[in-house]
Each structure stands twice: as structure tokens, then as C-alpha cells.
Amino acid sequence: MSRGLRTSGLLLSTATWYSLFLFAAAAPAVLGPLFLNRYGAADGSLFALATAGVAFVTRPIGALLFGRLGDTVSRRSALLSSLALGGTSIVLIGALPTERTLGPLAPMLLVGLQLVHGLAIGGIWSGMALSLTEGAPPLRRGLIGGFVQGGVSCGAILANVAVFATTSAFDTATFEDWGWRLPFLAGGVLLVVAVLVIAVRPRGEPLPPQPEPESGRRSGPVRTVFRRPGRLLLAAGLLFSANAAFYVTITGTVEYGVTELRLARADLVGGAFIAAVVGVLGSVGGGALADRLGRRPVVILGAVAGAVWAFPFFWLVNTAAIELVTFSMAVSGLASALGYGAVAAYLTELFGQRSRYTGTALAYHLGAALAGGAAQLAVLELPTYAESGVSWFLIGASALTVLCAIGLPETKPVSRADATFARLREGASPRSSPPGSSPRR
């Protein structure tokens, strides 16, 4: 069972994050020249990166919409509908006429579709994480969650490889005509495959929420989550360090290396590829460590490692020696992945079953929107602040994550019996509760 869950988690997560990171990977080389050419090459690339970041705005909104659907109807319905929306939006981008054909309407449509895609991502991650971690053995939930998180790095790998392959394989005329569309259309295919994987899996999701043991009307999932705003904000803060370091490492370093250090994009993409591979291993390892040491210690470990590496990271990058740049990116990728690998299980266990989809989705995407959006802004300022400002930004994000983790309880089940007792305390019977329900301490 665990092997099937690990494989499903990695495949689903890879397809999802490929579609998201494709925007960032394609922004300077593809979206800027084809949709924002009127601003000039340099400004067009910057505007394209900004366009790639607009999805952060709608991800929390999607978390609310699909979270409520997942908590009141079913996990499967919310996940399938968000996957369908995400696949449709990315295919439409692949079919979108460029600025040369539509003029100023083209970038407006591009931004609109990116916003829709962000809305879909807001529902996908939580549905994906819950469908796997709730069905995992209680003492292996961290490892399963680590495979879900490892798909983020896999998606980044595929996105960068797809963009680099298409820009290298076609001449300029062919690429601008139709070659650039292939990675986006492939993203739609991947999400269709993800839908099929979900559709053919046995229906192992939890039963509908059981009635509250107390008399009175039960609150909806959104209201339940917002009754504890402190826990929601602290849970969102668990994402700060990993998200900030990931976006600066994978997106920012490549653009900084090309524009300021005059390094070959192919070499830098190779470095990002290695960093992402290390990130997959780090996420899985972080999830496994979370099953042994606990969720909170591993999150803190990853944040502290990221803070310690913040200044050495840029010192090595600024040598402009591609071997040192690659090494620096790989260490940063490992540090950010360790704590990130523990987050899926941690968030799942921080919220009760009746509001878990809403709570995990909103916490995850609020953290991503704040940290990832700030990192995107930092990326735009990398040429000016590479030696100081961005390093302090990463240290600040790490400090916030440590403080948030300290403010949250440890949720790791001590034993299978401990997990069963926790389910009884939540008012559900052992037979009707999902095997992955978590202790609430």
C-alpha cells in the first residue's frame, strides 16, 4: 500500500508543479519576447517574471473554494475539479495567440489564464496531500508526505528541461510560430494523466464527517478554520523558509547568472536541474526524518540550515565559476527541502477532519503567497541586492519559520494505538475514521 501511495504522490505532484513552474521557467525566454515585446527585451523579461507570479494572488482564493468543496462534499470531487481547471487553463495558454496577432489583448489574456491556473493550484495541493497522507499508515505519514513534496522539485526539473529543449530544438521562426506551445500543451497532458490516476484509484478517502458529539448546529469548514486564526497563521509560516529559498535558488540564480554574471543559460539550467534532484531526495529524506524525530524538529532543522547557508550561497554564486554556482544551488536545494518534506504530514495533522481540506489548503497557499511572492520580488532585485538584501531576506524567512514551528504543537503519532485514541477523542468511531487521522494535542 505504501509503495503505491509513494508512487501516486510523486506522479501527481510532479504533474501539478510542472504546470506551475512552467510559467517561471518560460517567462524570460518565451513569454517576455512573445507577449510583452513592446516593453523591450530587458523590461519584457521582468514583466514576464512578474506575470508568472500573479498566480500567488488567487491561490488562497482557490484554497477556500476547493477546500470547502473537499470538506463538505468529498476530497475526490475537489481534487478532480481543480485538476480539470488547471489542465484547461494551461492548454489554453498553449493555444493563445501572441502579441503579434492580438496586440495588447494577448498579455491581458495571459495574465487572466495565469490567475485561473493559480485558482486551480489552490485546490490541487491539499486534495493531493490529503488523499495520500490520510490513507497512509500513521507511522509512515511523514514519508508519504515527503514524496508529495518531492514532486515540487520534479516539476521544476521537467519545466526547465522542457523550456530549454524547445528553445534549443527549433530555429527562431519555428519556435515563435508553434514550438513554444509544446511545453504548455504537454502540461495539459500531464494533468489529464493525473486525473486518470485519481479516477482509477480505489476510493480510499474518508467517509463524510461524522456529527459533532455536542448538540447544536455544526459550523462550516471555513468558519471553523478562522475560529483559530493563530494556528492558521503559524501553519502558513511553516512554508516561509522553504518557499523563499526554493524560488531564489531555482528561478533567481538562473536569471542573475545570465544577466549579471554572463554565464551560459544552459550551464545554469544544469545547475538548477542538479539542485532540484537534490531537492527531491531532501524532501523524501525530510519526510522520513519527520516520522522518526517529529515534524517540528525537522522543519526547524531545514530553516536553520537555510539561514546558515544564506550568505555563503551568494558568495559562491558571485565567483561566476559554474562548478561553485552549481554546488551552491545544490546545498540550498537540500536545505530548503528538508523542512519542506515534513510539511505535508504536519499540516494534515494540525487540522481536524471536518475542516482539514480548507485548513491545510489555506495555510499552505497563504504561506506560499507571502513567501513565494516576496521571493519573486527579491528575484527582480537580485542584480542590485545579491550580496546583502536577498541573504537577509532568506534569513528573515527562516527565522519566521522557526518561530512559527515553536508556536505549534508536535503532532507525530507515538504509536498506532495513540493515533486510534486521538480519533476517538475527535468523536469518530475507529471503523468510520480514516486510517490517517491524526492526534490533536
Which residue reads 544577466 in cell numbers? 259
* Number of other residues whose CB lies within 10 A of the CB of residue 133: 31
Percent of the chain scoring above 70 in pLDDT: 80
HSE-up (13 A, CA, CB side) for residue 436: 32
Q: Please say if the pLDDT value at position 166 is more than 60.
A: yes
- Report which of residues 85 and 375 the model is more confident about: 85
Cβ–Cβ < 8 Å for 150, 10: yes
Please report which confidence band the pLDDT of residue 214 belongs to, taking 50, 70 and 90 as the band edges. very low
- Give the model's pLDDT for residue 49: 58
How far apart CA 372 and CA 100 sit, in angstroms, is 31
- Give the model's pLDDT for residue 305: 96
Give whole-number Cα distances, 1 to 98, 135, 149, 262, 367, in Å: 46, 9, 19, 49, 31
Average pLDDT over residues 366-388: 69
Cβ–Cβ < 8 Å for 85, 120: yes
Q: Which of 139-143, 253-257, 373-377 has the highest mean pLDDT?
A: 139-143
- Give the model's pLDDT for residue 162: 87
Residue-wise pLDDT for 389-429, tens only, equals: 788 889 999 999 999 999 999 998 876 655 554 543 343 44
Q: Please say if the pLDDT value at position 106 is more than 90.
A: no
- Give the model's pLDDT for residue 428: 41
- Report which of residues 216 and 50 the model is more confident about: 50
Nearest CA to 299 among 195, 163, 146, 180?
Answer: 146
- Give the model's pLDDT for residue 426: 42
- Give the model's pLDDT for residue 419: 58
- Give the model's pLDDT for residue 431: 40
Burial of 227 (0-12, 13-18, 19+ CB in 10 A): exposed
The domain segmentation of the chain, as residue ranges, is: 2-203+227-425
Which residue reads 519576447 in cell numbers? 33
What CATH architecture does domain 2-203+227-425 belong to?
Up-down Bundle (1.20)
- Give the model's pLDDT for residue 216: 45
Least confident of 119-128, 248-257, 391-400: 248-257
Q: Which of 148-162, 280-294, 376-390 has the highest mean pLDDT?
A: 280-294
- Calculate the CA dihedral of residues 228, 232, 238, 241 and round it to 10 degrees: -130
Average pLDDT over residues 212-237: 79
Q: Which of 178-187, 269-278, 294-303 has the highest mean pLDDT?
A: 294-303
- Give the model's pLDDT for residue 290: 95
Mean of all residue pLDDT scores within the chain: 81
Phi-psi region of 320 (alpha: psi -120 to 50; beta: other; left: phi over 0): left
User: What are the φ/ψ torsions at residue 208 (nearest 5 degrees)?
Assistant: -55, 150
Give whole-number Cα distances, 16 to 10, 31, 190, 286, 345, in Å: 10, 20, 8, 21, 19
Residue-wise pLDDT for 37-77, tens only, equals: 665 555 545 555 566 667 788 899 999 999 999 999 888 88
Rg (Cα) of the chain, in Å, rounded? 21
C-alpha cell at 376: 519573486
Average pLDDT over residues 206-210: 42
Kindly give, in sequence order, each residue whose CB lies less than 8 Å from that of residue 65, ignoring residues fewer than 6 positions away.
119, 122, 123
- Give the model's pLDDT for residue 205: 46
Average pLDDT over residues 158-168: 84
